[in-house]
Structures are given as structure tokens and as C-alpha cells.
Structure 1
Amino acid sequence: MGPSGSGKTTLLDILADRTSSGIVDGAVLVNGKPRDKNFRLLPSYVAQEDSLLGSFTVLETLRYAAQLSVPSGLSSVEREARVQEAIDDMGLRSCQHTIVGDIFRKGLSGGQKRRLSIAIELLSQPNILLLDEPTSGLDSTATYAVIKYIENLSKQNRTVICTIHQPSSAVFHMFDNIMILSQGEMAFFGPPAQSLAHFTAWGYPCPQYTNPGEYFLQLVNTDFEGHRDLSAITAGFASSQLSSSLRASIEQDRTALGTNTSLNLHELRPSSFAQLGMLLHRNSLNNLRNPGVYGIRIAMYVMLSLMVGSVYVFNKKEEDLTALLFYVQAFLVFMSVAVLPFFIEQRVVFIRERANNSLSVLSYVIANFIAALPGILLIAAISTGIVVGLAGLNSFGYFLLNLFLSLVVAESLMHVLGAVARHYIIGIALGAGVFGMFMLVEGFMMPCKSIPAGWRWVHYIAFHSYSFKSFMYKQFEPMGTPTSKAILQRFDMKMLMSTST
């Protein structure tokens, strides 16, 4: 427990071995021994932010999660039993067929999403369960039910640690031990029943009819004027009998358990191949259901293709077709940046699943790539049909293949940016910058030989360059007219012409 910024989440991250920055002093012991590389297989972590895919229902979300996290030795019947049990334990039965929801569709409430996040981590029946603000967004009844279930878990030889902001009096007394933090310092640790006597002994009696949890948080909150002397409170606990007993208990456990070097690890997760099949199914269904992934993009591509195609319905001048081909290659491919926000939405789910050792990175990457291909092919086919049909271009098949491959490369680049950009706006800005640079040097604005030597290397790494040359060659080479030959020569395609002849 502790006010905002007291270090609760940081402490959980340290215990879970998930710190990505800063310097950690001290030691974390498991069964009296320092953690080893296998420790990360032990805990399941329910983070403060809910990481869920909005296109799936509660039941579907849990079934997919079970296929990733439940030991491979369990049968499908046993796996389904765990799913149904988690639904009942977290009070999600009434909304099991409700979608999670996203910016396009209304779905679960904040409290229901919180309970769903907890239910996901309960499927694997972890030996260590860490929960960061598990009651955030829950009403008092749901809070009591969730904490009661967590209390029952702790009585099944499981270690359960959670942070909590402002528990009711009933919830406060359900914990075996509470730690009160403020500014990273420990103001109390011990059974809730002993907290009242401790603070009373140091001159901070809890007023009658006051929730102890609320009072203690007010006591250690240093954000506002008139706060108590925190150093006196922490020093009081450090010199108390409770603190001495705690240190002696830790030392006794270290001595008693020092010879126990084996950890009770999870059973094996499903194989990478099994995960690949599940992830391919989940990602394909998510792409189909989420209107932002391909639905809106298809509408945009149809509109743009109709516009550019209709402009060239009656304009068959060979010189003007070069601008058309540049537009198709540059701007239709540029529209791939629109999918970036949805890749970042999927990334937060990937991070959660990966952090809890439920996911093979290779399986995820392959599944994501394959699941995207049908949508990309549909976009390429629709755009090709409209543009080639209206503008009367040559070689439908080559045009489709070229556009499809360009979109595949562009979407793959968006996957990379989605993996490294902290926010989708940053990712879109980076994507626009990269595509803008590639468009500038692909050969339409100026031939490669005219590009300054310091920038010429960009021409060779830009996939736009090869795609544009292919569009140009397949359009003008079959014509064989003096104008078409002159166009190819202007765009440095003499070698292609001589090879063809």
C-alpha cells in the first residue's frame, strides 16, 4: 500500500525481474537462494494497464490465452474447464459473449476489463502471482470478491503479492501481511491486526470509526502541505520490535531453505508450432473483425484508385502515364502507415504475453506476417483492377504482383516501426519520413545518376526504386514506340531495354 509514486509498481517490477532501467541494489532470494534464469518462468504478472484485443469476446480472449499459457499436457476438456472456472471466479459469466471493445465499438466496462486481465493470468495457475492495482476500476462488491478469491489462492501454496490503493476496512484485514510504502521507504510491514498497535505506540492512533487503510495512506502521504514527518515514521518502524522480528524471520528462512536449490517450475508451455497455429488463427480473425486494420483501408484504397483511374480514363498520353505509375507506387504504398496504430495495440498484448513467458517470438512474427497477406492481396487486387481497368494499363498480372509485393514490404516496415515506436504518432511520423525519403530518390523526381553522391545509397536500399522501375518497364517496354523508348532512356532503363532485345 502507499500513495501514488510511493514505489509500489517499482517494487513489483523488481520482484518479478522486469526492471528495464535504473540500478537495483540488494538481493531477491527465492527459497533462500538468489534468482536464476528459470525464475522468470514462475511468476504471472497482472500489470496496471489492461492489454487486450478489442475484437474478441471474454470467452474467446480466455480460450486463446489458455492455448498459450496452459501446460501442453492438459487435454482440451481440461483446458476448457480452466476457462470456465476463471469466468466464474472473476464474475464474468454475464458478459462472456461481450466483446472487449475498442475505439470503434463499445464493449466491456473498465472494471470488467480489469477482471478479465486477472482471469487471463489465473489460467496457468502460477506459483507466484503479482498483481498491480487489481481492484482499480472495480466497485466495492467486485473488489471484495476479487480479493477474496486471491486470498483463497494464497492458501493453496501460492505466493500472492499485490498493490492496492485504498482498500475498505474489510479488504484491509483480508491480507496476511501489508507493506506501507512512501517515497520508496517502508513505513510498516506485518499483519494488519498489528498495524493499529504499532502506529498507536508511535503516537499515531487511528481515530475511531475510521478505515485503517485510509488513515495510514493519509499518514504517509507527503504530496500536500501539513503532512507528517515521514522520516520519523519510517525510523519508528525500523527500530521497532516488528522490524527486528521480520529480519530474524528472513534470516531463519534463508538458513532453513538454503539447501533447497530446485524451483517448482511451470510445466512446459505449448510448443512453438502449436502456438503458431493458434496465433495465426487469432491474428487472422482480429484482422477480419477490426475495421481499422483492413476495412477502412480498403475503402480508402477504393476511393483513391477510382480518383486516379478516372483521371486517366481519356488521357492515354505516354508521358502522362509516368506520373500515374509514380502515384500508384508512392502514394498507394504510403497508405500503409494507417495500420500502424493497430500494430501498436497488438504490441501491448504481445509484451504482456511475452513477459509472462506465454509466447514464442518467432511464432508471433511468422503468424503476424502470414495473417496479413490475404488482406494485402485483397487491397492490391482491388486497386489493380480499378486503376488498370480505368487507365487501360498493360500487364494486369505484373501490376498486381508489383503492388502486392510493395505493400508487403511497406507493411513489414510498419511492423518494425510498431515494435520500436513508443507511441503511434511517433511511428507514423517515422514512417512518413522514411517513405518520403524513398519517394524522393526512387527515380521519378530525378534519375539515379543525378542524385547527389551522398544520397545515392538511399536509392539502392529503397524498395520504391525497384518497384517504380518494374512498373515503368512493364508499361512502356511492350509499346515499342519512340516515345516509350525515350521515356525508358530518361529513367535510366537502357540496360533493361538492351537485355530485353
Structure 2
Amino acid sequence: MQDDVLYPHLTVKETLMYAAILRLPKNLSKQEMVNRALEVIHELGLERCQNTIIGGPFLRGVSGGERKRVCMGQEILIDPSLLFLDEPTSGLDSSTALRIVHIMKKISQVGRTVVTTIHQPSSRIYHMFDKLILLSEGQLLYYGKASHAMNYFSSIGFSPQIAMNPADFLLDLASGNVVDMSTPIQLLGQCADYNGARGLHSIDVGSKKNHSNSLQPKYVNQYLSRAYKDMLSKNDALQDEDMGVRTISPYSDTARTSWKASGWKNKSDREWSSTWWCQFCVLYMRGFRERRHEYMSWLRIFQVLASAFIIGCLWWQSNFRTERHLIDQVGLLFFIATFWGFFPLFTALFTFPLERAILAKERACDMYRLSSYFMARTLGDIPLDFCLPLFFHIIVYFMAHLRPSISAFFLTFFTILLSTTASQGMGIAIGALMMDLKKATTLASIVLLTFMLSGGFFVQSIPSFIAWIRYISYNYHTFRLLATVQYGHGSQYFNCDTSTGCQKVEEASIFHNISLEGGGTEVLVLLSMIIGYRLIAYVALRRMSLAI
């Protein structure tokens, strides 16, 4: 919990309610799950901000302490017997940190064990802990009652020479910094022997205070670790009468046996607290609430509508009376195929890289199946992605005076939707494969450039050794489908004002390598791309490491 991994646009109440529905047992009713979320809000003192969004670096929301409490709330929803917290007070002021630890203390007093890492706690915070584990470079230096730690280190020769916060004293020891503290003569003697063996000037053992400042941290850490192991080696299960703590050595066979018998379940044996359909519905609704601001933002709407208006003005009341006019109108169709080939792609490209931390955290907690998350995340974007293409299509189609037919109007819109969904799938796949925005953007730019150049408009005669590339370009299939809808079926003519008589549109030079018949093949290819790209993305998510 060192980083507060939360959706920034959900409120505190929404965040905990969705977590409750996903994590609580399926035999509870929805109202009972909601009530449990409200209980946690009350327990953590979040009533005042329950309807405030979480917020982020550039989005105003709850305070840092409240955000920490929301993260804690997600875990105590299921009433765990053991709660791990990684630096819950990092980045907080002393007052807020004290409030967080007070809450942790309350949680521990109702039958839960709370294990937390903490750096630089105040003396008031330190004395609230029951037990303490002090580690240095993976070595155990102390485990026992927090109130007895100072006595233990004093018994082995380490004690502060000035008034000092116990936590500061212990952290100095863990880092090997023994300034302003007494050190055991045995440690100074060992360092003197070591330096003498190397031909260095030996330490004057009599001047401990002066030479304690020059001790290297590794010698201090080795001495402390060895001293603790020596104490534990006296018996495997030590009943320390001075500390009143029964300590089991982490290096003993007893500890290793207990770890093996701890009852961890294999991932294949996990039991989900909710059904696949319930997970899908909750994740779908949560995703819709989180991303509604993106799709309904005025900037995004303005971007599409302004582009449509400019395009409509440039191709105002276009026609194909002559071949030059026909080429202009075909250029419009190719631009539509290109625009709805890159716009959704770069929107979808950020889907999984930006949500990787949340996905890793929630999957580590077994909140839901990956398949339910993936389906909710990908299908949830499709209805929102249909709105902007519709606005764009209505404006451009009538301003540019494309084929005046109801069937052509709806078939053109259907083609745009296929292109939008296919390019969105490509963006999802690249993002899931790379999981790095810089790499994903670079790869997407190369792919888009290749698809655009091989789309059938810029290059009519592609060399045979690379001609296959057009068939994997959704721009090419979208362009062919748009041209077929506008000019296919042999009923369109141009150059009727010339002495040679009218010519069929499919006989124009621009269509020499593009068939205007059929269209079913292009639809099937685009549908295959829509499904195929998403399967690639799902497999990539299954295979990747979700470590934060």
C-alpha cells in the first residue's frame, strides 16, 4: 500500500462499494454488501468525504490521509485476520500520520493482526506499536516487544548518548550509523583486527567515542545480526524472561515447516467470491463511471466536431462529374478511413499501460478474473466510441454531399464503426504487448504509417514482394468498403459532359486496382481483426508479469 493505487474519478463511496461487491462472499445480498461498505466508511472516519472523488496529481480530490484510509478500507472490507500495510504514513505530515496509526491501532484491537512497514515514525507513533521487527539488508536485527527494543540493544552495548527518539535510534542502527551512541568494545576490537590484517592503522580500542564515528556500516550490521543469531541459537524456542516474548528463530527448521504448512492455495485452486457475470457487470459499470469524463469531455467533442466541420467545408457539396472531381471525393473517403483508423487507436493505446498498477493490485487480491476485467474493459468502450463517429458522420456526409441514399448513409456509418472498432482493437493489442507508453506510441506510429501508405490511395501499384501488406491493413479494407458503398453496383457515371459519353465510375483509373463489387469479404476481414486484435491483447495480459 506504499502507493495509493485508486481510480481518480470515482468517489470514496463508489470505490468502497464496488470493492465490496467484488470481494465479499456471493451469499450476501447486494444491500448487505453496501451496508458493509458504509460500515467501513464510518469505521475509518470517511463520512465527510464519502461523496468526494479520489483525485490525482492534477485533479483535486480527497487529502493524502483520506486516500490512505480508502486503501485500508478496501482491505478491511472482508474483515481479514491479517492485514499488511506498506508504509501507510509515507508522504503525510506528523498529525495525519498519527491519525492513520490510531486507526491501525483500533483495527488491531478488534481481533486483527496488523503488520506494517514504517520509516521515521515520531516517538508517539513508535510507542503505539506492540511488536517490532528491525531489518537491515535482509538480516534480522531484532524481533520482540517494541517497548523492550532499547533495553535489548543496550544489553549488547548500543545505547544513545543523547536524548533520542527510539525510532531514530533504531533506524540509525539498521543503517550502521552509530554516531552519538556507545558501541561495544568487541565490535571495535573486531574492526581493529580486520584493519590490522590488511596492514591499516589499527583502532585505539580505548578511544571508543572517537572511533565509533569511523565504523563502517557493514561491520555494525554484521555485528548486530550475529548478536541476534547468537541469542536465538541458545534454544530454538526462547522464552526471554526479560522481554516476556516467545521467539522462534526464522532460521530454524520449525519456522520453515510452519511456512510450508501455512495453507497457501495454488492459483488454480482459488475460489472466487462472485460469479463471472457479477464481476463483469460491476467492472463494466465501474469503468463507465471512471471514463465517462474522457468520452464526454467538451475538448474531445470539440476535437471531433471541429474536424468534421473543417472537412465538410473543404469538400463542400462535392461531386464526381469529372475524373478530377471524382479523385477529390475518393480522397475524402480515404481520409475518413484514415481518421477513424488513428483516432480510436491512440485513445485505446493508453488503456492497459495506465491501468497496469490497478490491475496488478486488484488481481493480486483475487478481486476478479482477468477475463471478466478484459471483457468489461474492452466492451465498455464500444458504446461510448459510437457517439462521436455518429456526430462526425452526420456532419460530413451531408456537407460533402455524398451518395443521397438511406442505405448508403447507414452502410457508410456501419463501415466507420467497423474501422473504429478494429483500430481500437489494434491500440489495445499494442498497449497490452508493450505496457510502456513510449514504446507503444512508437510502434503504433510505424503501424499506422504502414497501414495508411498501403491503404490503396497513395500507391496504386505496390511491388509484388510487399503487396501482401495491404491485406493486413484495416485502412485498405475500410477504404474499399466505403468506395463500394458510394460507387458500386454499376449505377454511377462520370464525365457525362464529354463527347465520348458517360463512363462508369469503376472504369476510372483510380479504381484499376480496387474492386467495387461485393463488400462481404471486407466486412469479414474487419470483423476478424476486431476479434483477433483483442485475443492478442488478452493473451499478452495473461502472459505478462503484473508486479507493481
Decide: shared fold, TM above 0.5.
yes
Correspondence for 2:278 among 262, 274, 281:
274
The 1:401–1:102 alpha-carbon spacing in structure 2 relative to 1, beyond 3 Å, is farther
Q: TM-score, normalized by length of structure 1?
A: 0.80
Percent identity of equivalent pairs: 26
Q: Is the 8 A contact 2:333 2:482 kept in 1?
A: yes
Over 3 Å counting, the alpha-carbon distance change for 1:232 and 1:254 in structure 2 is closer
Aligned partner of 2:484 in structure 1 is: 473
Instruction: Output the CA distance in 2 between the equivalents of 1:411 and 1:217.
Output: 51
Number of the residue aligned with 2:34: 80
Return closer, same or farther for 1:213/1:420 CA change in 2, 3 Å cut-off: farther
> d(CA) in 2 for partners of 1:488 and 1:425?
41
Partner of 1:383: 392
Cα distance in structure 2, aligned partners of 1:52 and 1:152:
24
Aligned counterpart, 1:402: 415
Q: CA deviation at 1:403?
A: 0.9
1:360 Cα deviation from its structure 2 partner: 1.4
| Counterpart among 441, 450, 465 of residue 462 in structure 2 | 450
Selected match of 1:244 from 233, 246, 252: 233
Post-superposition CA distance 1:448-500 (Å, at most 9, x none): x51451x3333222222211111122222242442622347635224738999
**Residues 295, 403 of structure 1: alpha-carbon distance in 2 compared, 3 angstrom cutoff:** farther
Deviates more, 1:307-316 or 1:422-431: 422-431
Deviations 1:73-112 (CA, angstroms, capped at 9, x unpaired): 2233432232122223323221111111246641122222
Q: Report the CA distance shift for 1:175/1:498 in structure 2 as closer, same or farther (over 3 A).
A: closer
* The one of 69, 72, 87 aligned to 1:118: 72
Distance 1:466 1:108 in 2: 48
Listed one character per residue, the Cα deviations across residues 166-190 of structure 1 (whole Å, up to 9, x for unaligned) are 1112222333332223333333333
Indicate conservation of the 8 Å contact 1:129/1:158, yes or no: yes
Q: 1:233-382 alignment to 2 at 5 Å?
A: 233-240=221-228, 242-244=231-233, 248=237, 249-250=248-249, 251=252, 254=255, 268-288=272-292, 290-291=293-294, 295-316=298-319, 317-336=325-344, 337-341=346-350, 343-382=352-391
Secondary structure of 1:232's aligned partner: helix
1:131-182: CA deviation from partner (whole Å, max 9, x where unpaired): 1111123333432333233344445554432211111122223333322233
Q: Which has the higher contact order (CA 8 A, sep 6+)?
A: 1
Match of 1:421 in 2: 434
Aligned twin of 1:441: 454
Q: What is the distance in 1 between the residues matched to 2:287 and 2:80?
A: 26
Which segment is superposed worse, 148-157 or 316-325? Answer: 148-157
Taking the aligned partners of 2:509 and 2:410, their CA distance within structure 1 comes to: 21
CA drift of 1:405 comes to: 1.2
For 1:285 and 1:485, the matched residues in 2 are separated by 48
Larger Rg computed on CA atoms: 2
**Cα RMSD for the two superposed structures:** 3.3
Are 2:511 and 1:490 equivalent residues in the alignment? yes
CA distances 1:333-353 after superposition (whole Å, capped 9, x unpaired): 212204544553334322221
**271-280 or 215-224: bigger deviation:** 215-224
Question: Normalization by structure 2: what TM-score?
Answer: 0.74
Structure 1 residues 177 and 237: alpha-carbon distance in aligned structure 2, compared to 1, 3 A threshold: farther
Q: 1:404 to 1:311 in 2, by over 3 A?
A: same
- Whole-angstrom distance in 1 between the partners of 2:481 and 2:270: 53
Structure 2 distance, partners of 1:104, 1:256, is 49
Q: 1:252 to 1:312 in 2, by over 3 A?
A: closer
SS in 2 for 1:450: coil
CA contact (8 A) 1:476 1:488 kept: no
The count of corresponding residues between Structure 1 and Structure 2 is 451
The corresponding residue for 1:22 is none
Structure 1 residues 257 and 490: alpha-carbon distance in aligned structure 2, compared to 1, 3 A threshold:
closer
Confirm or deny: 8 A CA contact 1:135 1:164 kept in the other structure. yes
For structure 1, which segment, 303-312 or 331-340, has the greater mean C-alpha deviation from structure 2 after superposition?
A: 331-340
CA separation of 1:266/1:156 partners in 2, compared to 1, >3 Å: closer, same or farther? farther
